Amino acid sequence: MKFITQVSLTSLLIVVLSATLHFAEAQSLMRTSRPDKDSHRVSMLIMQLRGGDNRRRNAAAEALAQMGTPAVDVLIAALEDDEHAEVRRAAVDALGRIPDPRSVAALVTAMEDPNIEVQHSAAEGLGAQLPQDRLRSNPKDGLTYIWIPPGSFSMGCSALDRECSENEKPAHRVRITKGYWMGQTAVTQAAYQRVMGNNPSQFKEQPSVFPSGNQPVELVTWNDAEAYCQRIEMRLPTEAEWEYAARGGTKESRYGELDTFNSVGWYYDNSDAGTIDPSFHTFKRTEMARQPHPVGQKRPNLYGLYDMLGNAAEWVEDWFGRYSLSAVSDPQGPATGRFKVARGGSYIDASDRVRVSARESTMEPGQRNSHTGFRCVGN
């Protein structure tokens, strides 16, 4: 399979949003100083970063980001502000726009910040800083794929998770021995149309509401999903590969919050509230019923993957089978069965189904519904 390197969409989104919200004030701050007064300018901006309201703080972060390398050390120092998470988040946002090895190291550390918003801002920053060999585009479908490194994790019911079903137990150790490329988003309707020549979805794009054409494809059977992945010289992920990637290195039942506007996924409680217009990054109120939304509008996990929770559930390769307590490497699931597995939950699911370990196991390979799609992987 041949790939073409592609710049991260996360990087573009960060730059556009920042420029839209804070351009005027950041430019004003930059004009007040000359290059030979960098030290004084940095001191002024860092004071504003620590002491301003959100608008002024973001403007200071923007000005520091535009300064580039000379500002890296003071931004790293700002990450040590234990009392003000908003300061750490502003510093992380700025570091994500400065290409410097020190920025990358600081962002990796910030992914363990006690504040979840700082963690996700660090993930977005790392997405913008990812080396080109970690992001690729498949020319057959035009979608972006992210490299998932090998590793080990506890698969199944997360520790202290009281919402688990019996089919998520027992938790057991799994080793993924080979890295793989995984779709940064679910397969979109536009990509499916490009590859397969049709769009089976019930919720086809509505130009007045969803001008981007980036809604996930649904009303696809497992057989359809497998055929698509094979046509682009990829495959469906195994259940273990899917959960390992969805967790993104975390041990929690979700990689972020569900009950805020900037949450990690569309689910029953928010999927009728409106949509983000990707052309203008604005929120639109609509009269629509619950339905899937354009991919990539919620926060990614720490691997930079979007919509692993909610929006459209996702077919995986495996037949459904009960877990064993034994540790395993690269499990493939049962050799035969009746039901294939879908993961991640969807826009119609209550929160207890929108968790990294939740398993949907009642669909045969030829069945379809309007809340299940898929994404592909490749080695």
For 203-242, write each residue's pLDDT tens digit.
886 655 555 568 999 999 999 999 999 999 999 999 999 9
By CB atoms closer than 10 A (0-12, 13-18, 19+), residue 102 is: middle
What CATH homologous superfamily does 7-129 map to? Leucine-rich Repeat Variant (1.25.10.10)
Q: Which sequence spans correspond to the domains of the chain?
A: 7-129, 138-379
- Separation of alpha carbons 174 and 61, rounded Å: 41
pLDDT at 108 over 90: no
Give the rounded percent of residues in the chain with a pLDDT score beyond 90.
48
Angstrom CA distances, 208 to 63, 199, 273, stand at 36, 19, 16
Instruction: Evaluate if pTM is beyond 0.85.
Output: no
State the pLDDT at residue 24: 37
State the pLDDT at residue 187: 98
- Separation of alpha carbons 301 and 119, rounded Å: 9
State the pLDDT at residue 218: 96
Pick the CATH number of 138-379 from 3.55.40.20, 2.30.40.10, 3.90.1580.10, 3.40.190.170: 3.90.1580.10
Matching fold, domains 7-129 and 138-379: no
